[in-house]
Amino acid sequence: MKNCLVVDDSKVIRKVARHILESLDLSVTEAVDGQDALTQCEASAPDVVLLDWNMPVMSGMEFLQALTTAKMTARPKIIFCTTENGISHIKAAVEAGADEYVMKPFDRETLESKLVIVGVI
């Protein structure tokens, strides 16, 4: 079973995402900020990370930067997740290494299509 790490400081969003991801047959782990996510990735690399952009402690962007130098066996796919759809914002995230992008609130179909695009399901 493939694993998705859900990184979001909102408990509600993590719960919604977990519900959808589990229904798509993925195992789910959670992190509350970028730092927490980084520690978890180094311990055991997930197949995909659903990454919130605006978080305290370490933002999504900072997490992506840190990930490039992290000691990991394989780089996970990154789907970043925001409440903004400004094109410059999206471009910045893609340039920083995000593979896909999804705007909140998202539904099952949307998340599923993104997971298909990045090749996780």
Partner 1 sequence: MKMAQPAAIFEGAARVLAALLEARTGQALSEGRAWRMETALRPVLRQHKLADMDELAGRLTRKADPRLEEEVVNALLNNESSFFRDLQIFDMIHRQILPAIQAERSNRTLRIWSAGCSTGQEAYSLAIRLRNDAARWSGWRIEIMATDISTAAIDQARAGIFSQMDVQRGLAVGDLIKWFEPHGEDWRASAELRRMIDFRHDNLFDAKAPSGEYDLILCRNVLLYFSPERRQAVLRLLGRHSHARSVLLLGAGETVIGQGDDFTAHPEFRGAYVRQAALPEGTIGRTRLAG
Q: Which residues bind partner 1 (CB under 8 A)?
A: 85-87, 90-91, 94, 98-103, 106, 109-110, 113-114, 116-117
Q: How far is the CB of 99 from partner 1 (least distance, A)?
A: 8
Buried b (16+ CB within 10 A) or exposed e, 45-78: bbbbbbbbbebeebbbbbbbebbeeeebeeebbb
Name the residue nearer to partner 1 (CB basis): 18 or 114.
114
Name the residue nearer to partner 1 (CB basis): 14 or 114.
114
Q: How far apart are CA 80 and CA 19, in angstroms?
A: 18
Q: How far is the CB of 45 from partner 1 (least distance, A)?
A: 22
Name the residue nearer to partner 1 (CB basis): 32 or 102.
102
